[in-house]
Amino acid sequence: MGIREELERIGKDTLQDLGKVTDTQTLEQLKVRVLGKKGSLTALLRGMGALSAEERPKMGQIINEYRARLQEALDRKMDELSAREKEARLEKEALDITEPRDKVEIGAVHPTQAVLREVLDCFTGLGFEVVEGPEVELDHYNFELLNLPKNHPARDAQDTFYVDDNIVMRTHTSPVQARVMLSRKPPIRVVCPGRVFRADEIDATHSPVFHQIEGLVIDENVTMGDLKGTLDAFARKLYGEDITTRFRPSFFPFTEPSAEVDLTCFNCRGKGCRMCKGTGFIEVLGCGMVNPHVLEMCGIDPEKYSGFAFGIGLERITLLRYGITDMRLLYEGDLRFLRQFR
Q: Which pLDDT score, from 0 to 100, does residue 127 have?
A: 93
Same domain? 264 vs 324: yes
45 part of a folded domain: yes
Residue 29: give the domain boundaries.
3-93
Q: Which pLDDT score, from 0 to 100, does residue 155 have?
A: 67
100 part of a folded domain: no
Same domain? 76 vs 142: no
76 part of a folded domain: yes
Confirm whether pTM is higher than 0.85: no
Pairing of strands 167-169, 162-164: antiparallel
- List the one residue out of 176, 160, 108, 43 whose CA is nearest residue 341: 108
Same domain? 227 vs 323: yes
Mean pLDDT by 10 residues, the chain (342 residues): 70 79 84 78 69 72 78 84 86 78 81 93 94 94 90 70 88 94 94 92 86 96 95 88 90 93 83 82 92 94 95 90 87 86 80
Same domain? 87 vs 211: no
Same domain? 134 vs 62: no
281 part of a folded domain: yes
- List the one residue out of 308, 26, 37 whose CA is nearest residue 187: 308
- List the one residue out of 169, 147, 150 whose CA is nearest residue 159: 169
**d(Cα 167, Cα 137) in Å, to the nearest integer?**
6
Same domain? 312 vs 189: yes
Q: Which pLDDT score, from 0 to 100, does residue 189 have?
A: 96
Same domain? 223 vs 121: yes
Same domain? 189 vs 253: yes
Query: Residue 255's beta-bridge partner residues?
Result: 252, 290
Helix ranges restricted to H, the chain:
3-20, 24-35, 40-46, 55-93, 111-125, 139-142, 154-158, 174-183, 224-239, 292-297, 314-322, 335-338
Please tell me the total count of domains within the chain: 2
Residue 119 backbone phi and psi in degrees, to 5:
-65, -45
| CATH code for position 240 | 3.30.930.10
Residue 334 backbone phi and psi in degrees, to 5:
-75, 115
Pairing of strands 281-290, 255-264: antiparallel
Same domain? 54 vs 195: no
Among candidate residues 93, 124, 153, the one where a domain is terminated? 93
**d(Cα 230, Cα 289) in Å, to the nearest integer?**
13
Same domain? 224 vs 310: yes
Q: Which pLDDT score, from 0 to 100, does residue 50 have?
A: 66
Same domain? 206 vs 86: no
193-231: buried (b, 16+ CB within 10 Å) or exposed (e) per residue?
A: bbebbbeeeeeeeebeebbbbbbbbbeeebeeebbbebb
103 part of a folded domain: no
Tell the burial category of 238 from Cβ atoms under 10 Å away from its Cβ (0-12, 13-18, 19+). Answer: buried
64 part of a folded domain: yes
Among candidate residues 67, 93, 119, the one where a domain is terminated? 93
Among candidate residues 32, 65, 93, the one where a domain is terminated? 93
Same domain? 167 vs 202: yes
Other beta carbons within 10 Å of 319 = 21
61 part of a folded domain: yes
285 part of a folded domain: yes
